[in-house]
Amino acid sequence: DTEVTQTPKHLVMGMTNKKSLKCEQHMGHRAMYWYKQKAKKPPELMFVYSYEKLSINESVPSRFSPECPNSSLLNLHLHALQPEDSALYLCASSQGTLLATSTDTQYFGPGTRLTVL
C-alpha cells in the first residue's frame, strides 16, 4: 500500500480562524513533507520531518506551524492566515531522506484545497 491520506479535502477559513490539516501514512516511512502549490505552479517545499524531527523549514511564516506527533502522522496548524495563503497543500512521505538512491521514493497525498477568506 503506497497511500498517503490527507484530511480534510477542502477547507474554507477566515483570517482569524485556527484550523489544522492532517496527513497520515502507514508505509513505515520515516520522512514526511509539507508542500504548498498555487494554481498552475509547481509544488513548493515548506517543511521536512525526518524521524519525527523538523529537519528543513523553508523560511515559512510562523502562521504555519507543523507538528509530527508520531512517525505516521503529520499535522499543519494554521492561524491568522492571509488570502494569499489559499492553495493546495500537499503532504508526502518517503522511506528516509535518501531521495537520490534507487530505493527511496516520495509518495504524495491528494492534497487539501485551502481557501482563506
Residues making contact with other proteins (CB under 8 A)? 4, 6, 33, 40-43, 45, 48, 50, 55-56, 90, 92, 97-102, 104-111, 113
**What Cα–Cα distance (Å) separates residue 66 from each residue in 3, 13, 62?**
21, 18, 10
Question: Closest approach of Cβ 45 to other proteins, in Å?
Answer: 5
CB of 80 to other proteins, least distance (A): 27
Q: How many alpha carbons fall within 13 Å on the CB side of residue 58?
A: 10
CA dist., res. 95 & res. 77, Å (int)? 24
Give the nearer residue to other proteins in terms of CB position, either 6 or 85: 6
